[in-house]
Amino acid sequence: MKILIIGNGIAGQTVAEEIRKNNSDYEINIITKEPYLYYSRIFLPSYLIGEKSLDKLILHSIEWYKNRNISVELNKQIDQIDRVNKKLHVLEDDNWINYDKLVIASGSNARILHFGNPNLKGVFSLRNVADADTIRNYINKNNVKDVLVIGGGLLGIEIGFNLRDLQLNVTICEIAPYLLPRQLDRGTSKLLQKYLESKNLEILCDVAVEKILGDKRVTGIKLKNGMERKFDMIIQQMGIIPEISLAQKSDIQAEKGIIVNEYMQTNDPDIYAVGDCIQFNGRIWGIIPASREQSKLAAKHILKLNPEKYQGTFWNTRLKIAGINLTCLGSPEEEDKEETKLIESVDEEKFLCRKVRIEDNQIKSAILLGPGKDNFFVKNLGKEVDFDEVKKKVYE
């Protein structure tokens, strides 16, 4: 059996690893258009500011692949799938390689808007090592002082926070009324904003960018409320767009993402899709825990090991900036039911906040801001829990 995997991010990597753990015979080939072996995107904001080197980002050496008899080809882009003859076309070599089972783990791209001025220099987003290198070069060569990050999600905040270390003036703007609207309630968000402002980040919420200004290079922005501001560089972190172009060309069903069933199969049962590129039950994820869960499940299904059906992954995200811990579990924006119980403990002076929602005796969501540990809540998310024990942990 020959398994081909497109993409060497956490999703493609996990499928290969999980198949090999249970089977030593299958041929496993990973093909990726990136020039590096598997690296963690989590560390890109630290790499951007020179805090981490490239070799610290790369998590597996070539020996890791050799020891597992997994072949990996870098700098190779797949641009066509011939589903009838079960083969893939490699753009760079102009050759075809065949497969028995194909796994598409093509990830996602940053969502970019042109704001009326598509060809300006100085507008970026951070998705891979090459982006980080380009942004760093631009900062160094263009005397950049004032930076705007568009998008007050986790990534926008992390990038903005890190860029301060390069002695830049950083503003983060968010179209929603408060930061992290998908993860936080307004109260906790305002507390986080206070913390970020105390660290010299300027935060503008409830503002929409209308136009990016400049002739050849960015010189500033105009907001929908008419206000103009000067900026030397703009970083857009406004979410992701799953990479579905290959699927679309090959009549594999896709909408926002590549549509998969509860075993991660596309409409072609020999083609699976996992990670940021997928859509399941109308939703896309874009977080590592989802990629891992989906990839393990797909590997089991390929191995005919009877996996449980996928039901979606609980949100589990952390903000990784110095001086404050923030873990967000589940979806706090879901409507409360009659039986929903909220346990909360807030100390604004200490930037401390723990809010846990319990429904049907299960932890539905948790916001944990401050120095306390989050293991208990991560472990028990979506599981049946003892109310008094949760209460004890919230007030601990």
Ligand X SMILES: Cc1cc2nc3c(=O)[nH]c(=O)nc-3n(C[C@H](O)[C@H](O)[C@H](O)COP(=O)(O)OP(=O)(O)OC[C@H]3O[C@@H](n4cnc5c(N)ncnc54)[C@H](O)[C@@H]3O)c2cc1C
What residue ranges bind ligand X (CB under 6 A)? 6-12, 31-34, 41-42, 44-45, 77-78, 105-108, 126-127, 155, 243, 246, 275-276, 286-288, 291, 317, 320
Minimum distance from residue 319 beta carbon to ligand X (Å): 8
Q: Distance between CA atoms of 172 and 159, rounded to whole angstroms?
A: 10
Cα-to-chain-centroid distance, residue 155: 8
Which C-beta is closer to ligand X: that of 6 or that of 218?
6
Least Cβ distance, residue 62 to ligand X (angstroms): 17
C-alpha to C-alpha distance for 84 and 354, rounded to whole angstroms: 54
Enter the DSSP assignment of 313. Answer: -
Minimum Å gap between C-beta 132 and ligand X is 8
Query: CA-CA distance, 322 to 165, in Å (whole number)?
Result: 11
Outline where DSSP puts E strands in 121-166.
123-124, 146-150
Q: Which is nearer to ligand X, 11 or 16 (CB)?
A: 11
Shortest reach from residue 227's CB to ligand X, in Å: 29
What pairs with residue 218 in β-bridges?
214
| Distance in Å, CB of 334 to ligand X, minimum | 20
The number of C-alpha atoms within 13 Å of 13 and in the hemisphere containing its C-beta is 19
Which pair of structure tokens corresponds to residue 336?
């409360």
Q: How far is the CB of 376 from ligand X (least distance, A)?
A: 20
Closer residue to ligand X in complex, CB, 276/385: 276
CA distance 328 to 319: 8
Amino acid occupying residue 278: I
**Between residues 310 and 394, which has the closer beta carbon with respect to ligand X?**
310
Q: Is 160 helix (H, G, I), strand (E, B) or coil?
A: helix
Pairing of strands 271-273, 146-150: unpaired
